[in-house]
C-alpha cells in the first residue's frame, strides 16, 4: 500500500520521495495503532491508496480533514465502515474497481459537500434511500454501475440540480424511469442500461429539457412501447443514443440526430426513413435485428462520416444502392439476413477502408465485382447463403501492387464464425484456415503438406498446418489460392483476408 498527496507536485523529486515515504509509514502506523496521534495525518486533505488490499479500518474516520480520497483499482474488500461518516468535508470519494460489498455505505449520506462519487465495479447491493437526493444535493458526477443494487430511482433525485453524470447501469434496478429526471438540466451522461426497468420511453419527453445531454443509454432494460416523437427533440449536443435490446416498436421519428444511434435488437418496423440522410455527421448506425422492411434508402450516402452501418437481420428487399459506395469512410457494413437481390455494387472497391463486409443469407447473385480487389483493408467477408458464381477477384495481386502484402496473413471467409473462433481459442493465436475449415464451410477439398506442427499436435492436423505449398488452389474456385511461408502460423494480433 502507498499513499500519495496530490499537493506533492510542487516539491522537488527528492522532497516528494521523502515525504511519500514519511506519509506511507505514518499512515500504516496510524491505521494499525489507533491510539497514535499524528498532526501530519490530521492535516491531510487528500490521499490515494495504491496496491492496497484488505478491509478499511474504522479508524479511517479519525482523518476528519480529508476532502479527496481515492481507493480506486485496488483489492479492497468488505463493507465500508460506519465511522466514515465523520469525514463530512469530503468532496471527492473514489472507491471504484475493488471488491467492496454490503449495502450502500450509509456514512456517505453525511457527505453533504460531496461532488464526485464513484463506486462502480464492486459488489455493493441493497437500494438507495428515498431521501438520497436531499442528503447529497451537490453531486456533480455519480457512478454506481456494475454492482448489485436493486430498487427504484428515488424521486428525490430531482433535488440534485448540479448533477451532470448519472451512471447506474448494470445493476438490478427496478421500477420506472421517472420523468422528474428532466429537472436535472445539467445532465450530460446518463447510463441506465442493463437493469430491469418497467414501462415505456415517455421519460424521453422530459429529457428534452436537458440541453447539454451528450450520451444516453438504456439498452438491455426491457423498455417497451413506441419510439416517441420527442426523440428528435433531444439535445443538439447528443452524440450517443443507445436503446438496443429492448422491446421497442413503432417507427423511427424523422429528424433524429446523433453521431451514434443504436436501436438494434428491438421490434422496430416500417421503412428506414430517408430523413436519416440528413444526419451528415452520423458515425455509427446500428439497426440490426429489427423488423425494418422496404428498400435501403439511398439517402444514407449523405452520411459521409459513417464508419459502421449495420442493418442486417431485418426484412429489407431490393438491391444494395450504388449510392452507399460513396460512403468512403465505411469500416463495417452489414446487410446480411435480409432479402436483398441483384449483385454486389460494382463500385464496392471505392470502400478502401472497409474491414468487414457481411452480406450473407440474402438473394444476391451474379459475379463478385472485380473492384473488390481494391478493398485492401478487408479482414472479414461473409457471402454464404447467396447465388454468386464466377471467379474470386485477384485481391492478393492488388495488395502486392500496393506493397501491402502480409506474409502472415490468413483467409477468414467464414459462415460459421463461432466454430472458427472456437478452433482459434483452442490454438491460442496460432490459427490458420485449412482443409478442414474449407471443407466444413464450402465443401472444398484442399491439398496440404504435412508439417512438424502436425506431428506435435496430431489431433489438430486438419486445423492448423504450418506450411502450405505456394500457388495452392482451392478446389473448384478459380484463382483462389494462398501464398505462404514457414512463418505462416506465428502468433499474430489479427487475421486478414488474402485471395490470389
Domain count, the chain: 2
How confident is the model at residue 275, as a pLDDT? Answer: 85
- For residues 80 and 118, membership in a common domain is answered with yes
pLDDT of amino acid 109? 95
- Is 19 within the bounds of a domain? no
Say if residue 93 is in the same domain as residue 238: yes
pLDDT band, very low/low/confident/very high, at 51 (cuts 50, 70, 90): low
Give yes or no for residue 485 having a pLDDT over 70.
no
Is 405 inside a domain boundary?
yes
13 pLDDT band, cuts 50/70/90, is: low
Average pLDDT over residues 230-240: 86
Among 28-32, 79-83, 130-134, the minimum mean pLDDT is found in 28-32
Judge if 364 and 410 occupy the same domain.
no
Q: Indicate the pLDDT class of residue 30, thresholds 50, 70 and 90.
A: very low
In a domain, 1, yes or no: no
Q: Which of 346, 363, 394 is the last residue of a domain?
A: 394
State residue 465's pLDDT score.
31
**413 burial class (0-12, 13-18, 19+ CB within 10 angstroms)?**
buried
Considering the domain architecture, whether residues 162 and 301 belong to the same structural domain is answered as: yes
Residue 4 lies in a domain: no
Looking at the predicted structure, is the pLDDT value of residue 476 above 70? Answer: no
Is 477 part of a structural domain of the chain?
A: yes
- CB under 8 Å to 141, separation ≥6 — which residues? 115, 116, 117, 118, 163, 164, 165
CB 184 within 8 A of CB 157: yes
HSE of 167 in the Cβ direction (CA atoms, 13 Å)? Answer: 19
449 phi and psi, to 5 degrees? -95, 145
pLDDT per residue over 362-404, tens digit each?
A: 999 999 998 888 888 888 889 999 998 877 776 655 555 543 3
In a domain, 250, yes or no: yes
Q: What is the pTM of this model?
A: 0.68
**Nearest alpha carbon to residue 120 among 145, 85, 90:** 145
Q: Which domain holds residue 230?
A: 52-394
Report pLDDT for 176: 94
Percent residues over pLDDT 70 in the chain:
67
With cell 447528443, the residue in question is: 238
Structural domain contains residue 192: yes
Element (H, E) at 401: helix 395-401
- Tell whether 81 and 177 lie within a shared domain: yes
Q: What pLDDT is attached to residue 74?
A: 87
In this structure, the answer to whether residues 336 and 449 fall within a common structural domain is no
C-alpha closest to that of 128 among 93, 171, 98, 97: 171
Lowest mean pLDDT among 4-13, 169-178, 203-212, 236-245: 4-13
Domain boundary among 394, 427, 447: 394
Distances (CA, A) of 438 to 355, 411, 443, 475: 21, 10, 6, 10
Set of cell numbers at residue 322 = 450504388
Residues 363 and 469 in one domain: no
- Mean pLDDT value of segment 149-176: 95
- How much is the pLDDT for 410? 33
pLDDT at 218: 94
Provide the 10 A C-beta neighbour count for residue 406.
Answer: 11
Same domain, 421 and 320: no
**Per-residue model confidence (pLDDT) at position 257:** 64
Residue where a domain terminates, one of 394, 422, 452: 394
Nearest to 205 by CA among 187, 231, 243, 183: 231
Residue 36 within a domain: no
Co-location of 390 and 461 in the same domain: no
User: Lowest-confidence range among 179-193, 246-260, 373-387, 444-458?
Assistant: 444-458
Confidence of residue 488 (pLDDT cuts 50, 70, 90): very low
Q: What is the pLDDT of residues 273-315, one digit of tens each?
A: 888 888 888 889 999 999 999 999 999 999 998 999 999 999 9
Query: Of 116-130, 223-237, 276-290, 406-420, which range is least confident?
Result: 406-420
Question: 144: domain CATH number?
Answer: 3.80.10.10
Same domain, 116 and 169: yes
Quick one: 373 and 500 in the same domain? no
How confident is the model over 455-463, as a mean pLDDT? Answer: 33
What's residue 167's pLDDT? 96
pLDDT of res. 213: 94
Among 15-19, 143-147, 412-416, the range with the most confident prediction by mean pLDDT is: 143-147
User: Among 82, 97, 7, which Cα is nearest to 47's?
Assistant: 7
- Do 363 and 478 have their domain in common? no
**For residue 20, what pLDDT band results from cuts at 50, 70 and 90?**
very low
pLDDT over 90 (residue 440): no
Tens of pLDDT, residue by residue over 169-195, are 999 999 999 999 999 999 999 999 999
Amino acid at each position: 500500500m502507498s499513499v500519495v498527496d496530490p499537493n506533492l507536485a510542487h516539491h522537488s523529486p527528492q522532497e516528494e520521495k521523502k515525504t511519500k515515504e514519511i506519509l506511507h509509514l505514518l499512515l500504516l502506523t496510524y491505521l494499525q495503532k489507533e491510539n497514535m496521534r499524528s498532526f501530519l495525518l490530521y492535516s491531510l486533505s487528500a490521499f490515494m491508496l495504491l496496491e492496497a488490499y484488505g478491509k478499511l479500518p474504522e479508524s479511517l474516520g479519525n482523518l476528519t480533514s480529508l476532502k479527496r480520497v481515492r481507493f480506486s483499482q485496488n483489492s479492497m474488500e468488505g463493507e465500508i465502515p460506519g465511522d466514515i461518516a465523520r469525514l463530512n468535508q469530503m468532496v471527492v470519494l473514489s472507491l471504484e474497481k475493488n471488491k467492496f460489498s454490503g449495502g450502500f455505505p450509509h456514512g456517505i449520506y453525511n457527505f453533504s459537500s460531496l461532488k464526485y462519487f464513484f463506486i462502480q465495479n464492486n459488489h455493493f447491493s441493497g437500494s438507495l434511500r428515498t431521501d438520497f437526493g436531499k442528503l447529497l444535493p451537490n453531486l456533480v458526477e455519480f457512478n454506481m454501475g456494475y454492482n448489485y443494487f436493486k430498487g427504484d430511482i428515488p424521486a428525490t433525485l430531482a433535488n440534485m440540480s448540479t448533477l451532470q453524470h448519472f451512471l447506474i447501469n448494470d445493476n438490478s434496478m427496478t421500477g420506472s424511469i421517472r420523468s422528474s429526471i428532466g429537472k436535472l438540466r445539467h445532465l450530460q451522461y446518463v447510463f441506465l442500461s442493463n437493469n430491469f426497468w418497467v414501462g415505456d420511453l415517455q421519460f424521453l419527453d422530459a429529457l428534452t429539457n436537458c440541453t447539454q445531454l451528450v450520451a444516453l443509454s438504456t439498452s438491455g432494460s426491457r423498455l417497451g412501447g413506441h419510439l416517441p416523437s420527442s426523440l428528435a427533440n433531444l439535445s443538439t449536443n447528443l452524440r450517443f443514443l443507445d436503446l438496443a435490446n429492448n422491446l421497442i416498436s413503432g417507427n423511427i421519428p424523422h429528424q433524429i440526430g446523433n453521431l451514434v444511434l443504436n436501436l438494434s435488437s428491438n421490434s422496430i418496423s416500417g421503412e428506414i426513413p430517408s430523413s436519416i440522410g440528413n444526419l451528415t455527421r452520423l458515425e455509427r448506425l446500428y439497426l440490426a435485428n429489427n423488423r425494418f422492411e422496404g428498400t435501403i434508402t439511398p439517402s444514407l450516402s449523405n452520411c459521409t462520416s459513417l464508419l459502421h452501418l449495420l442493418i442486417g437481420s431485418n426484412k429489407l428487399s431490393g438491391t444494395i444502392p450504388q449510392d452507399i459506395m460513396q460512403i468512403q469512410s465505411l469500416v463495417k457494413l452489414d446487410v446480411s439476413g435480409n432479402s436483398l437481390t441483384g449483385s454486389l455494387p460494382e463500385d464496392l472497391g471505392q470502400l478502401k477502408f472497409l474491414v468487414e463486409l457481411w452480406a450473407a443469407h440474402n438473394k444476391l447473385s451474379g459475379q463478385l465485382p472485380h473492384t473488390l480487389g481494391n478493398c485492401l483493408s478487408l479482414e472479414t467477408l461473409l457471402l454464404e447463403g447467396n447465388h454468386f458464381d464466377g471467379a474470386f477477384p485477384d485481391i492478393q495481386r492488388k495488395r502486392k501492387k500496393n506493397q501491402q502484402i502480409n506474409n502472415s496473413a490468413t483467409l477468414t471467409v467464414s459462415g460459421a464464425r463461432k466454430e472458427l473462433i472456437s478452433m482459434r481459442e483452442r490454438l491460442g493465436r496460432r490459427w490458420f484456415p485449412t482443409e478442414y475449415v474449407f471443407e466444413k464451410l464450402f465443401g472444398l477439398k484442399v491439398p496440404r503438406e504435412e508439417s512438424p506442427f502436425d506431428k506435435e499436435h496430431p489431433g489438430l492436423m486438419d486445423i492448423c498446418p504450418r506450411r502450405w505449398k505456394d500457388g495452392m488452389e482451392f478446389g473448384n474456385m478459380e484463382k483462389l489460392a494462398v501464398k505462404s511461408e514457414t512463418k505462416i502460423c506465428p502468433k499474430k494480433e489479427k487475421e486478414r483476408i488474402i485471395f490470389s
